[in-house]
């Protein structure tokens, strides 16, 4: 199928720039095939149809696995093919600037490289199945509070290095569409922001797909048109009339209109001509949901090897054990028909000789004292207690931010009181973002961060708790000691302008720069085995391209997977730079006693910062350190590296997209 813009009237072309309805593009009275846009990102979300509820993106990010990002994307795409969705409105690669953001569960990380890299794999996997994606929300949508009216005031370097960077990386997978954010950036709505949409996204990043508005994000269709927005969603006669008036007045030229309409026609063509492939059935997709979740679950603490369970009896307590929050609230909410099997049953199946009891759901009812008493009684009589606590899709949801990063107080009370009657407490936490655990973490033996792990979350958790799966997830965001310790403090962004005054010091970049203690650092996650790192070597390919190799050995007697992380430190930078920045990672599987040589590559961008004076990326000659670690605060190997550039290159290497 091929469409020519000249075959369409001015009215039709203008109508192409807004939806046909809430979810479909304009069809020109049957001249064009249907293109149906559906959310994303933790499964196909369609009000009318059931689909596989995959783990949320935050859990996927905790896998630190390109392979899992691909499996996740491919599984969701299969649902899209089977159920007729043409473009998946996902993934979102916005940075987790504050753990309060109600939508953090939909986003990957506080780190642009990790977010962009996993986002890229997810996009490739979806599109290889003939389903389009929408990389969202461009850009700097980092809070839900006042998202339609707030301006995020961000300096140029921070914008480039932190907030645009994950998009720049994910764009390498060529998403068919990009969705702009609701918020303003430096006083101009993202939908009307020529610098974002035209100068950067189109001209510098070379994006040639369709730029969509977020739903109802277009404030003024004419201004948005001028800034390069192609399609305002959902359908709106107001948009059409505004654009028609602008065209009739000569404010929009035929050339401009043809260019925008042609962009949309190309997308429709691509969708119509795609080879849509569904390779799985519902059961396989459910298994994939369990697999991704089991790699995304993070073992945060494990004293005295209490996990995996090897105990005569376990009392399971907490409503998440029977009714786990499988996702957060809002547009990513997937309708699944999967019936949860109670966690106690899943554990009993895997531990046939142990006595597994279910204490109570403890579901915050008015009877809560009575229920709590029942929970304590079962906890008191068991050898080990598993407490399943967390937030839910009301606390963590689109359109609102959290007010606290602590668990609901009644749950903290449950943990503290249970720990008084039983010394062997394991806590499983279900949440979409970081939790302040300081009130209780010292009183319990183990903590497992489940996240919002989708319909297969509790099966995956049962596998991890019983050792069927050795945990291999690591945190894609820092868990701070408390809210006041975070870069944005405990402020809620209540004004119409949010100043990003911490600059590039977001997440671990902030805690490192200010030497702050954290509860669990970025990249942290335990295993049932131990890994050692040795023999680091750097092989130079060019002045800015290197291969960094090292050996990782599984020192224990359990097979496991390790996420190896490579950070770069600029030792004497002329601008304020983070202590270190993630520039490479991989996840490897090792049998007991096995070792493997790992090689990660670095290129010029691994050393570069954004030079606001010259308007481009720059690598300075000078001293760098390459740090290999098991987390951002568990660096195992370090090597020094000197880069040098000749005088006629001004001792630096510059990249300017425009020249
Ligand atoms: C969200 C988008 C979503 C769209 C359509 C908006 O509220 O911000 O992420 O794709 O709705 O549901």
DSSP result, 240-254: HHHHHHHHHTTSS-H
CA atoms of 456 and 292, how far apart (whole Å) = 9
Test site for ligand 1: of 39, 85, 235, most ligand atoms within 8 A of the Cβ: 39
Q: Which of 456, 408, 448, 407 is nearest to 316 (CA)?
A: 448
CA atoms of 164 and 184, how far apart (whole Å) = 14
- Compute the distance from residue 496 Cα to the ligand 1 centre, in Å: 21
CA 141 to ligand 1: nearest atom? 8
Residue 656 has pLDDT above 70, yes or no: no
CA atoms of 229 and 212, how far apart (whole Å) = 6
Q: How many Å separate Cα 77 from the centre of its chain?
A: 18
Ligand 1, atom 2: nearest CA belongs to which residue?
A: 214
- Compute the distance from residue 215 Cα to the ligand 1 centre, in Å: 6
| Region 12-40 average pLDDT | 97
| Ligand 1 within 6 A of CB of 129 | no
- Compute the distance from residue 217 Cα to the ligand 1 centre, in Å: 10
Ligand 1, atom 7: nearest CA belongs to which residue?
A: 215
Show the tokens assigned to 469: 């799966």
CA atoms of 3 and 574, how far apart (whole Å) = 52
- Element containing residue 66 per DSSP (H, E): helix 66-83
Residue 197, pLDDT score: 98
Count CA atoms closer than 13 A to 455's CA, side-chain side. 24
Ligand 1, atom 6: nearest CA belongs to which residue?
A: 215
- At what angle are helices 112-127 and 66-83 packed, to 10 degrees? 40
- Compute the distance from residue 194 Cα to the ligand 1 centre, in Å: 22
| Ligand 1 within 6 A of CB of 214 | yes
CA atoms of 506 and 114, how far apart (whole Å) = 14
Q: Which range (358-367, 413-422, 646-655) has the least confidence?
A: 358-367
Ligand 1, atom 8: nearest CA belongs to which residue?
A: 214
| Ligand 1 within 6 A of CB of 39 | yes
Sole residue written with tokens 């505004």: 242
CA 45 to ligand 1: nearest atom? 12
| Region 62-81 average pLDDT | 98
Whole-model pTM?
Answer: 0.97
CA 92 to ligand 1: nearest atom? 9
Coil, helix or strand at residue 116: helix
| Ligand 1 within 6 A of CB of 94 | no
Residue 651, pLDDT score: 81
Q: Which of 59, 73, 14 is nearest to 451 (CA)?
A: 59
CB–CB of 590/531 below 8 Å?
yes
Residue 495, pLDDT score: 72
Strands 560-570 and 87-88: unpaired
DSSP-assigned letters across all residues of 310-358: --SEEEEESGGGTS---S-BSTT-----PPPPPHHHHHHHH-TTSEEEE
Q: Which of 153, 24, 156, 181 is nearest to 94 (CA)?
A: 181
CB–CB of 570/604 below 8 Å?
no
Out of 78, 214, 436, 485, the active site residue is 214
Q: Which range (124-128, 376-380, 435-439, 475-479) has the least confidence?
A: 376-380
Query: Tell me, what DSSP letter sits at residue 467?
Result: T
| Ligand 1 within 6 A of CB of 23 | no
| Ligand 1 within 6 A of CB of 215 | yes
CA atoms of 583 and 600, how far apart (whole Å) = 9
Give the confidence band of 659 by pLDDT, cuts at 50, 70, 90.
Answer: very low
CA 331 to ligand 1: nearest atom? 12
- Compute the distance from residue 331 Cα to the ligand 1 centre, in Å: 6
CA atoms of 329 and 56, how far apart (whole Å) = 11
In this structure, is the dihedral angle defined by the CA atoms of residues 102, 107, 110 and 112, taken in order, positive or negative?
negative
Check if 214 is active-site. yes
Q: Which of 254, 173, 255 is nearest to 207 (CA)?
A: 173
- Compute the distance from residue 54 Cα to the ligand 1 centre, in Å: 18
Give the confidence band of 450 by pLDDT, cuts at 50, 70, 90.
Answer: very high
Residue 362, pLDDT score: 53
For the stretch 566-606, pLDDT in tens is 999 999 999 999 999 999 999 999 999 999 999 999 999 99
For the stretch 160-197, pLDDT in tens is 999 999 999 999 999 999 999 999 999 999 999 999 99
CA atoms of 588 and 595, how far apart (whole Å) = 10
CA atoms of 410 and 561, how far apart (whole Å) = 36
| Ligand 1 within 6 A of CB of 106 | no
| Ligand 1 within 6 A of CB of 331 | yes
Residue 657 has pLDDT above 80, yes or no: no
Test site for ligand 1: of 19, 104, 105, 215, most ligand atoms within 8 A of the Cβ: 215
Give the confidence band of 652 by pLDDT, cuts at 50, 70, 90.
Answer: confident
Q: How many Å separate Cα 450 from the centre of its chain?
A: 15
Instruction: Name residues whose C-beta falls within 8 Å of residue 373's C-beta, 6 or more positions apart in sequence.
Output: none
Test site for ligand 1: of 181, 331, 400, most ligand atoms within 8 A of the Cβ: 331
In this structure, is the dihedral angle defined by the CA atoms of residues 130, 135, 136 and 142, taken in order, positive or negative?
positive
For the stretch 312-368, pLDDT in tens is 999 999 989 999 999 999 999 999 999 999 999 999 999 999 999 987 655 555 556
CA atoms of 498 and 508, how far apart (whole Å) = 21
CB–CB of 376/357 below 8 Å?
no
For the stretch 512-561, pLDDT in tens is 999 999 999 999 999 999 999 999 999 999 999 999 999 999 999 999 99
Residue 494, pLDDT score: 64
**pLDDT mean across residues, the chain:** 95
CA angle at 511 for the pair 510 and 515, rounded to the nearest 5°: 120
| Ligand 1 within 6 A of CB of 147 | no
Sole residue written with tokens 């690591």: 474
Residues in the chain: 659
Residue 382, pLDDT score: 94
- Compute the distance from residue 28 Cα to the ligand 1 centre, in Å: 25
Q: Which of 38, 110, 118 is nearest to 72 (CA)?
A: 118
CB–CB of 55/451 below 8 Å?
yes
For the stretch 253-274, pLDDT in tens is 999 999 999 999 999 999 999 9
- Compute the distance from residue 600 Cα to the ligand 1 centre, in Å: 36
Residue 137, pLDDT score: 98
Ligand 1, atom 5: nearest CA belongs to which residue?
A: 215
- Compute the distance from residue 448 Cα to the ligand 1 centre, in Å: 31
CA atoms of 380 and 25, how far apart (whole Å) = 59
Q: pLDDT exceeding 90 applies to what percent of the chain?
A: 92
CB–CB of 222/194 below 8 Å?
no
| Ligand 1 within 6 A of CB of 89 | yes
CA atoms of 467 and 474, how far apart (whole Å) = 17
Residue 16, pLDDT score: 97
Instruction: Name residues whose C-beta falls within 8 Å of residue 310's C-beta, 6 or more positions apart in sequence.
Output: none
Residue 439 has pLDDT above 90, yes or no: yes
């Amino acid at each position: 199928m091929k469409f020519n813009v000249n075959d369409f009237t001015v009215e039709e072309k203008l109508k192409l720039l807004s939806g046909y309805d809430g979810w479909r593009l304009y069809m020109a009275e049957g001249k064009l095939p249907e293109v149906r846009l559906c959310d994303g990102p933790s499964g196909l979300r369609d009000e009318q149809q059931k689909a596989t509820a995959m783990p949320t993106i935050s859990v996927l990010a905790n896998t630190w696995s390109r392979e899992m990002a691909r499996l996740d994307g491919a599984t969701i795409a299969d649902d899209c093919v089977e159920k007729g969705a043409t473009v998946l409105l996902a993934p979102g690669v916005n940075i987790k600037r504050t753990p309060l953001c109600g939508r953090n569960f939909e986003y990957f990380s506080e780190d642009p490289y990790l977010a962009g890299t996993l986002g890229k794999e997810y996009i490739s996997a979806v599109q290889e199945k003939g389903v389009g994606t929408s990389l969202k929300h461009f850009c700097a949508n980092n809070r839900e509070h006042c998202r339609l009216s707030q301006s995020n005031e961000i300096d140029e370097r921070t914008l480039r290095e932190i907030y645009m960077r994950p998009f720049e990386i994910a764009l390498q997978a060529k998403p068919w569409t990009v969705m702009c954010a609701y918020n303003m950036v430096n006083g101009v709505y993202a939908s009307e922001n020529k610098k974002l949409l035209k100068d950067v996204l189109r001209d510098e990043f070379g994006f040639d797909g369709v730029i969509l508005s977020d739903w109802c994000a277009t404030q003024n269709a004419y201004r948005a048109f001028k800034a390069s927005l192609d399609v305002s969603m959902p359908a709106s006669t107001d948009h059409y009339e505004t654009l028609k008036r602008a065209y009739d007045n000569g404010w929009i030229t035929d050339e401009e209109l043809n260019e925008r309409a042609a962009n949309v026609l190309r997308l429709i063509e691509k969708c119509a001509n795609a080879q849509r492939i569904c390779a799985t059935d519902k059961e396989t997709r459910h298994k994939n949901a369990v697999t991704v979740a089991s790699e995304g679950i993070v073992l945060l603490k494990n004293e005295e090897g209490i996990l995996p369970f090897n105990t005569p009896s376990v009392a399971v307590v907490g409503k998440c054990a029977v009714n786990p929050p499988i996702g957060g609230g809002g547009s990513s909410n997937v309708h699944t028909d999967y019936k949860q099997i109670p966690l106690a049953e899943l554990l009993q199946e895997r531990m046939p000789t142990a006595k597994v009891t279910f204490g109570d759901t403890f579901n915050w009812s008015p009877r809560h004292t009575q229920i709590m008493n029942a929970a304590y009684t079962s906890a008191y009589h068991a050898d080990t207690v598993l407490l399943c606590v967390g937030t839910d899709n009301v606390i963590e949801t689109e359109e609102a931010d959290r007010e606290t990063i602590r668990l609901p107080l009644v749950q903290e009370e449950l943990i503290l009181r249970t720990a008084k009657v039983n010394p062997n407490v394991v806590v499983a936490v279900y949440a979409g973002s970081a939790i302040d655990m300081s009130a209780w973490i010292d009183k319990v033996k183990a903590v497992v961060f489940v996240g919002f792990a989708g319909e297969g979350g509790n099966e995956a958790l049962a596998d991890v708790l019983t050792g069927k799966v050795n945990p291999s997830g690591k945190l894609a965001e820092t868990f701070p000691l408390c809210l006041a310790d975070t870069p944005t403090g405990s402020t809620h962004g209540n004004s119409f302008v949010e100043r990003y005054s911490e600059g590039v010091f977001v997440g671990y970049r902030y805690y490192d720069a200010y030497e702050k203690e954290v509860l669990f650092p970025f990249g942290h996650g335990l295993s049932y085995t131990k890994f050692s790192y040795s023999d680091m070597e750097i092989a130079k390919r060019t002045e800015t391209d290197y291969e960094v190799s090292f050996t990782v050995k599984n020192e224990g007697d359990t097979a496991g997977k390790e996420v190896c992380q490579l950070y770069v430190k600029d030792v004497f930078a002329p601008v304020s730079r983070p202590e270190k920045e993630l520039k490479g990672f991989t996840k490897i599987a090792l049998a007991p006693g096995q070792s493997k040589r790992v090689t990660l590559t670095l290129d010029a961008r691994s050393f570069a910062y954004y030079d606001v004076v010259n308007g481009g990326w720059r690598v300075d000659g000078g001293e760098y350190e390459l740090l290999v670690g098991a987390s951002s605060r568990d660096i195992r190997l370090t090597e020094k590296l000197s880069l040098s550039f000749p005088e006629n290159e001004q001792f630096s290497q510059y990249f300017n997209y425009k020249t």
